[in-house]
Amino acid sequence: MNSSMVRIIIAHIMKIEAVFLLLPCIVALIYGEKEGFAYLAVAAGSAIGGWILGFKKAEDKTLFLKEGCVTTALSWIVMSTIGALPFYITGEIPSYIDSCFETVSGFTTTGSSILNDIESLSHASLFWRSGTHWIGGMGVLVFLLSIVSLSGGSTINLMKAESPGPSVGKLVPKIKASARYLYLIYTAMTFIETMLLIFGGCPVFDSITLAFGTAGTGGFAIRGDSVASYSVYVQWVITVFMILFGVNFNVYYFILMRHIKDALKVEEVKYYLLVILSSVIIIFINVRNMFDHAGDAIRHTAFTVASIITTTGFATVDFDTWNTTCKIIIVMLMFIGACAGSTGGGIKVSRFVIIAKTIKKEINSYIHPRSIKKIIYDGKPAEHVMIRSVNVYMATYILIMTVSILLVSFEGEDLVTTVTSVITCFNNIGPGLNKLGPTCNFSFLSGFTKLVLMFDMLAGRLELFPLVMLFHPRMLKELVIGKKRR
Amino acid sequence: MFGNKNTQKGGMSIIIVGCGKVGSALVERLSGEGHNITIIDKDEAKIQAVTNMYDVMGVNGNGASYSVQVDAGIDTADLFIAVTDSDELNLLCCTVAKREGKCVTIARVHTPEYSKEAAFLKDKLGLEMIINPEYEAAKVMSRTLSLPMAEEVSSFAHGQVEMIKIRIPEGNKLDGLKVMDLGRDVTSNVVICAVEREGEVFIPSGMFILRGGDLISFVATRKDARGFLSKIGFKSEAIKDTLIVGGGKDSYYLADLLSRAGVQVSIIERDVAKCEALSVLLPKAVIINDDGTNEEVLKEAGLETTQAFIPLTGIDEENIILSMYAKQVSDAKVITRIARNNFRSIVNNLDLGSVIFPKYIVSEAIVAYVRARKNSMDCNIETLYHIFGSRAEAIEFIVENETAVTGKKLSELKLKNNLRIAYIRRHNNIIFPGGNDEIKVGDAVMVVTTHTGFKDIQDILQ
């Protein structure tokens, strides 16, 4: 294990976080809040820590896949523990475990909160809370790659570990340029959404934080009732942008490069939109009678479906009161998640498409046992390695989920609460059902359960293996002791 | 704040078809110079291996297919290089690319039938460059044989100047000599540009003291070089006969070049059909049909008495063993060709005679072409050589415009460390410059340096 390179990258991450932590300071300055000092102190600490950690340069600059995975997992843990400090120092969240839960939930773009009264928070903290979504959405290592030239091409292994989806490719030959394009698209879309919200009469602070929450598909709002009390226009804008941020970013790159044909070729997006449309129709039929106007029904339905499938977790309505069919569809959407290469979580539409095609092929092989048929995905034959990795991903996913549910069950809550708490955290959504519905929060859970859920959130965001790798005994040993080289 | 930004901005867009030995050597060199590279190969695993190592994009598919080329971005590409194993495919790739994009195309053509028609193909198909790794390697080998006591001979300035690498024997005149005293004690008109000692390459200053066992590279005119070598006690007779093991393409090219120069060539080849083909192509050569890795066969073919021995089988390990064996049983000049390049440090430590790396010879030619093309405005790179296994570069620049380096005494220029101006060529006269000489417009200047990525004569300044 090249632990000095791991160290250097974590040092970079700490410096970047220090810069991001300065933004809430500016907010505090504008609103004249003393909480700003806590952010300033943590920013300074993080910058100094990063400087010390990165002081000694690495001799060998290669990063293999294992280093990529371990670095990514460690970066996210370090980032969360530092990001939690301001909440704890300002006393706005008295327990450090709770602060960590809130930050992990922010960075992983989950949006599950332990706060009973969100509106009592300072503007600085509200801004930081939503800001973590934005940072975590596209990924901090991708951000690092977009600004730093880490020598060698092996840095692709960092991107592989952090970006969601079964196969990670580059948009353009150079990784730095690829990462820049991603952040360019991401920032531009966030900006457009903010502007649209401001034009719709939404206050500037609310617009920015809502846009952050949508862009990262996070789901932290700054009001206790999430998005319910905003205007119809604001809710529609957020609905559309949630869906847009759940689309594979390659599509936007193709559109930007005027390769419209290539954009239309991305198979996953078609299925993604199809799932959204059919879910909206089914739920709309079921909930039509609960609202006075059909317009309200369609708005709330579309908002909820978009919020859940993109794993954002905003709410305009308490869907926990809907009938069982609707709730089952919502839970199914939680699993499906957004497209690969988007900011959303979940298992990803592409994996389901591949699995569906594998099943079809398998059934065909029962009819014609000697037939040979390659699975075609995105117009190309899918490599066996990719199909295998999707299958293994599913198996690991189910395993981790089952164990987590067992661990959370010690809490002694009812079945629905227990199961959905894990599902919602693992898929980075936010609200669950029953006691964890859109109107409730996670504060009543024990510290142990929160730790389990934090693990699930990180595992879900980093697509399982980077985090699991970190806890592999050999990796831990190599990281701590290091391997002797001559 | 976030580390150094040392990659150059705005590299060229380059598409490389084929990730074999030459292809990956090119990726290694060109990606290091900051170009935007896309590779095309039919083998997904090869693409994975290369994209995991270098910052390049991979496209899986047939490089001659139009849609694959479009995927790789042929419409915006500046340079298209086809280096698959098949000549026909390379030519087809380039023809398609030429029709579709506005790019410069380079094809690898290596079968003897086509390479004889290289000029015709280049012209008719509109290619900018045709490369033939085996032929280039053969040229280097035959040059080395013309000066057998040298480890390596490269020629510059249309053959007027040679760069010669020799190993200083213990107790030689040069052992313990200061570089600045060379002109006084031995001869002037010879410039020592690089020294390798204990695996490290230095560009020596005047104070540098040479020692026995050092590998030195010096430049001189052809005549002076031979004079210098005889002064320091090196015999300089050309080789009369050569034994080659293996009858591949490079053996054919080498034997052809040597036969023309009047050297008696023997080739040992296992395959009867190949032997017959060679005997037709090379009427003057002795073709022996037997196993060249057999000790008895080698003895019978005259290994112990031959003046030069060159194993060119398809397997590097076999070549290395054969070279070591030849060093043990005969005084022949041995050249070892390393096709792949794993474990270079081991290869460097073995006594294998002159070692050549064909894939680097080719990538040098292309890299020089790319650099020259990128900066065709100010200064031109005329030739570029990697010396000491690409740990140092020898570059010849043509100075076309007034720049910061022209019109000033060399002693006034602040040159980079580890850099030496080997010679200045002015109106076909070679000047080995001292501190009072100047670089003028129209000169060709040869620079030897351990820095990489020089594109312009001004890069020599600090």
Query: CB count, 10 Å around CB of B230?
Result: 11
Asked whether residue A482 carries a pLDDT value surpassing 90, the answer given is no
ipTM over cut 0.85:
no
Q: How far is A412 from chain B (nearest CA, A)?
A: 48
Among candidates B5, B36, B60 on the partner chain, residue whose Cβ is nearest the Cβ of A172 = B36
Region B212-235 average pLDDT: 82
Touching A: B residues 20-49, CB under 8 Å: 31, 36-38, 44
| Residue A344, token pair as written in the block | 């959303």
Residue B4, pLDDT score: 32
Mean pLDDT: which of A418-422, A465-469, B136-140, B351-355 is highest? A418-422
Q: How far apart are the first and last CA of chain B?
A: 23
Residue A162, pLDDT score: 77
Asked whether residue B264 carries a pLDDT value surpassing 60, the answer given is yes
pLDDT digits (tens, 9 = 90+) for B394-440: 888 888 778 888 888 888 888 888 888 888 888 878 888 877 788 88
Cβ contacts (< 8 Å) between B42 and chain A: which residues? none
Cβ contacts (< 8 Å) between B51 and chain A: which residues? 153, 156
Residue A226, pLDDT score: 85
Residue A165, pLDDT score: 67
> Which is higher by pLDDT, B99 or A61?
B99
Q: Is the dihedral of CA A326, A330, A332, A338 positive or negative?
A: positive
Beta pairing class for B392-399 and B444-449? antiparallel
Tell me the sheet residues that pair with B74. none
Beta pairing class for B191-197 and B161-167? unpaired
Mean pLDDT: which of A63-77, B386-400, B446-460 is highest? A63-77
Interface contact B54-A153, CB threshold 8 A: yes
Note whether B4 contacts A: Cβ–Cβ < 8 A: yes
Asked whether residue A237 carries a pLDDT value surpassing 80, the answer given is yes
Cβ contacts (< 8 Å) between A65 and chain B: which residues? 52
Region A323-329 average pLDDT: 92
Q: Is A367 helix (H, G, I), strand (E, B) or coil?
A: helix
Q: Considering only CA atoms, which of A135, A139, A138, A176 is closest in space to residue A155?
A: A176
Q: How far apart are CA A273 and CA A255, in angstroms?
A: 17
Q: How far apart are CA A159 and CA A69, in angstroms?
A: 9
Among candidates B2, B52, B57 on the partner chain, residue whose Cβ is nearest the Cβ of A12 = B2
Tell me the three-class secondary structure of A284-331, residue by residue: HHHHHHHCCCHHHHHHHHHHHHHHHHCCCCCCCCCHHHCCHHHHHHHH
> Which is higher by pLDDT, B154 or B330?
B330
Asked whether residue B188 carries a pLDDT value surpassing 80, the answer given is no
What is the Cα A144 distance to its own chain's centre? 17
Asked whether residue B7 carries a pLDDT value surpassing 60, the answer given is no
From B52, which residue of chain A is nearest by alpha-carbon distance? A154
pLDDT class of B376 with cuts at 50, 70, 90: low
Residue pair B255/B265 in contact by the 8 Å Cβ criterion: yes
Residue B50, pLDDT score: 87
| Residue B170, token pair as written in the block | 């213990």
Asked whether residue B381 carries a pLDDT value surpassing 80, the answer given is no
Percent of chain B with pLDDT over 70: 95
Region B36-53 average pLDDT: 88
> Which is higher by pLDDT, A7 or A174?
A7
Residue A106, pLDDT score: 93
CATH top class, domain B138-231:
alpha beta
Residue B8, pLDDT score: 39
CATH T-level topology, domain B241-356: Rossmann fold (3.40.50)
Interface contact B38-A150, CB threshold 8 A: no
pLDDT class of B60 with cuts at 50, 70, 90: confident
Region A308-328 average pLDDT: 90
Give the lowest-confidence range in A82-86, A286-290, B180-184, B371-375.
B371-375
Mutate to test the interface with B, among A64, A151, A168 (most CBs of B within 10 A): A151
From B44, which residue of chain A is nearest by alpha-carbon distance? A383
CATH number of the B13-131 domain: 3.40.50.720
Asked whether residue B393 carries a pLDDT value surpassing 60, the answer given is yes
* Residues with Cβ within 8 Å of residue A325, at least 6 apart in sequence: A282, A286
Interface contact A174-B38, CB threshold 8 A: no
Residue B439, pLDDT score: 85
What is the model's pTM?
0.80
pLDDT class of A270 with cuts at 50, 70, 90: very high
Touching B: A residues 154-183, CB under 8 Å: 154-157, 169-170, 172-177
Q: Is A29 helix (H, G, I), strand (E, B) or coil?
A: helix
A:B CB pairs within 8 Å: 54
Interhelix angle A232-245/A175-199, nearest 10 degrees: 170
Residue A166, pLDDT score: 67
Give the lowest-confidence range in A29-33, A161-165, A354-358, A467-471.
A161-165
Q: What is the mean pLDDT of chain A?
A: 88
pLDDT class of A150 with cuts at 50, 70, 90: low
What are residue A319's phi and psi, to 5 degrees? -70, -5
Region B100-105 average pLDDT: 83
Q: How far is B98 from chain A (nearest CA, A)?
A: 21
Q: What is the mean pLDDT of chain B?
A: 83
Note whether B54 contacts A: Cβ–Cβ < 8 A: yes
Q: How far apart are CA A338 and CA A342, in angstroms?
A: 7
Cβ contacts (< 8 Å) between A173 and chain B: which residues? 13, 36-38, 55-57
Mean pLDDT: which of A215-229, A416-430, B184-198 is highest? A416-430
Interface contact A155-B55, CB threshold 8 A: yes
Q: How far apart are CA B330 and CA B242, in angstroms?
A: 13
Note whether A60 contacts B: Cβ–Cβ < 8 A: no
Same fold? B138-231, B241-356: no
pLDDT class of B5 with cuts at 50, 70, 90: very low
Percent of chain A with pLDDT over 90: 51
Q: What is the CA radius of gyration of chain A?
A: 22
Mutate to test the interface with B, among A20, A48, A149 (most CBs of B within 10 A): A149
Cβ contacts (< 8 Å) between B6 and chain A: which residues? 149, 151
Q: Does domain B367-460 have CATH number 3.90.1530.10?
A: no
Q: Is B429 helix (H, G, I), strand (E, B) or coil?
A: strand
Region B192-219 average pLDDT: 84
Asked whether residue A486 carries a pLDDT value surpassing 60, the answer given is no
Interface contact A149-B1, CB threshold 8 A: no
Tell me the sheet residues that pair with B131. B108
User: Would you list the domain boundaries of chain B?
Assistant: 13-131, 138-231, 241-356, 367-460
Q: How far apart are CA B211 and CA A253, in angstroms?
A: 60
Residue type, A2: N
Tell me the sheet residues that pair with B396. B383, B446
pLDDT class of B9 with cuts at 50, 70, 90: very low
pLDDT digits (tens, 9 = 90+) for A356-415: 999 998 898 898 888 888 888 887 888 888 888 899 999 999 999 999 999 999 988 899
Residue B180, pLDDT score: 79
